């Protein structure tokens, strides 16, 4: 069960506000290339693909790589223009054994109710030696994410997410070992003013799970700061690579 429902309102807000520009994705392209080593004929699973933004990016970046998007939320799938797109989740991946050369999970791992079961399912569909790339905000690692500067109450939600050590332990039982952990910068918005104008509570799990009063106070802090701050909003999420 995901932490939030991802019904129509959540999915619509996510589709409207959570996609990065090409400039914002530059460092992620380099990181994925470094750890995945894309090549024609490779099959990549985008697990928890949402509205398909990452699947589309991989298709654009890596000609000849086949990307398969799997998403559990019907509301997300309804807003996804990418194909092939199939229903499924981390515990039930609708693919055959030893059929993919890599798996991508972006801001998904905290929605997985049984990480150990997911690890075994990923081990089943992955070819030997293929990587799992997990892009996430992990518990205890909020400092490089601007959102938490203005919504500090949301840190308590983040700290209920799996930590890096939690994920490593769950995957170790299925035979995975950590290949890399790195912070990857991204341009999240051209300016704080644009970030404030485009903010949608429904698009961010930590904001949905704080109180209305805490959310309102955070919006006020963000808007006040946006009046004077210039320059792009640069955040860094973690990339955990397991093999």
Q: Would you say residue 108 lies in a domain?
A: yes
Contacts of 65 (CB under 8 A, 6+ apart): 38, 39, 40, 41, 42, 43, 44, 58, 59
Query: What is the tens place of the pLDDT at every residue in 52-91?
Result: 999 999 999 999 999 999 999 999 999 998 999 999 999 9
Domain that holds residue 56: 8-141+161-187+234-242
Assess whether pLDDT exceeds 80 at residue 5.
no
Using the predicted structure, report yes or no on whether residue 15 has a pLDDT greater than 70: yes
- The answer to whether position 198 is within a domain reads no
pLDDT, mean over the chain: 95
| Domain presence at residue 221 | no
pLDDT band at 1 (very low <50, low <70, confident <90, very high): very low
Is the pTM higher than 0.75?
A: yes
Tell me if 148 is assigned to some domain.
no
Task: Give the model's confidence band at 32: pLDDT under 50 very low, under 70 low, under 90 confident, else very high.
Answer: very high
- Confirm whether 1 is domain-assigned: no
Of the chain, the percentage scoring pLDDT greater than 70 comes to 98
215 neighbors 151 (Cβ within 8 angstroms): yes
Cβ atoms < 10 Å from Cβ of 187? 17
Domain assignment present for 220: no
Residue 194 in any domain: the answer is no
Strands 132-136 and 43-47: unpaired
Q: Is residue 167 part of a domain?
A: yes
Query: What's the CA gap between 163 and 140, in Å, rounded?
Result: 7
For 228, residues 6+ apart whose C-beta sits below 8 A from its C-beta are: none
Q: In this structure, what token pair is assigned to residue 58?
A: 């991989």
Q: In the prediction, which pLDDT does 34 show?
A: 97
Confidence of residue 10 (pLDDT cuts 50, 70, 90): confident
Confidence tier at 4 by pLDDT (50, 70, 90): low
Distance CA 227, CA 225 (A): 5
The closest alpha carbon to 46, from 116, 6, 95, belongs to 95
CB atoms within 10 A of CB 27: 18
CA distance 237 to 38: 22
Phi, psi of 2 (to 5 degrees): -65, 160
The model's pLDDT over 181-222, given as tens digits with 9 standing for 90+, comes to 999 999 999 999 999 999 999 999 999 999 999 999 999 999
> How many domains, the chain?
1
Residues 156-177: tens digit of each pLDDT: 999 999 999 999 999 999 999 9
- Cα dihedral sign for 211, 166, 107, 151? positive
Q: CATH no. for residue 131?
A: 3.40.50.150
Is residue 136 pLDDT above 90, yes or no?
Answer: yes
Q: What does the alpha-carbon distance between residue 7 and residue 12 come to, in Å, rounded to a whole number?
A: 9
């Amino acid at each position: 069960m995901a932490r939030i429902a991802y019904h129509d309102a959540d999915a619509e807000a996510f589709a409207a506000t959570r996609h990065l520009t090409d400039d914002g994705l530059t460092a992620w392209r380099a990181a994925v290339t470094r750890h995945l080593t894309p090549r024609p004929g490779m099959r990549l699973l985008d697990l928890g693909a949402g509205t398909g933004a990452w699947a589309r990016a991989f298709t654009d970046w890596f000609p000849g790589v086949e990307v398969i998007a799997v998403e559990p939320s019907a509301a997300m799938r309804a807003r996804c223009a990418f194909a092939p797109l199939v229903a499924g989740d981390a515990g039930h991946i609708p693919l055959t054994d030893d059929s993919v050369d890599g798996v991508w999970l972006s801001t998904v791992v905290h929605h997985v109710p049984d990480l150990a079961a997911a690890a075994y399912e990923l081990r089943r569909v992955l070819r030997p030696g293929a990587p799992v790339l997990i892009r996430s905000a992990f518990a205890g690692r909020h400092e490089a994410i601007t959102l938490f500067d203005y919504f500090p109450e949301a840190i308590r939600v983040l700290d209920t997410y799996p930590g890096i050590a939690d994920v490593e332990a769950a995957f170790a039982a299925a035979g995975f070992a950590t290949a890399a952990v790195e912070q990857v910068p991204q341009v999240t918005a051209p300016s704080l003013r644009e970030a404030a104008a485009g903010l949608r509570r429904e698009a961010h799990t930590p904001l949905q799970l704080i109180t209305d009063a805490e959310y309102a106070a955070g919006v006020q802090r963000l808007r006040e700061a946006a009046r004077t701050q210039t320059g792009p909003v640069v955040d860094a999420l973690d990339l955990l690579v397991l093999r």
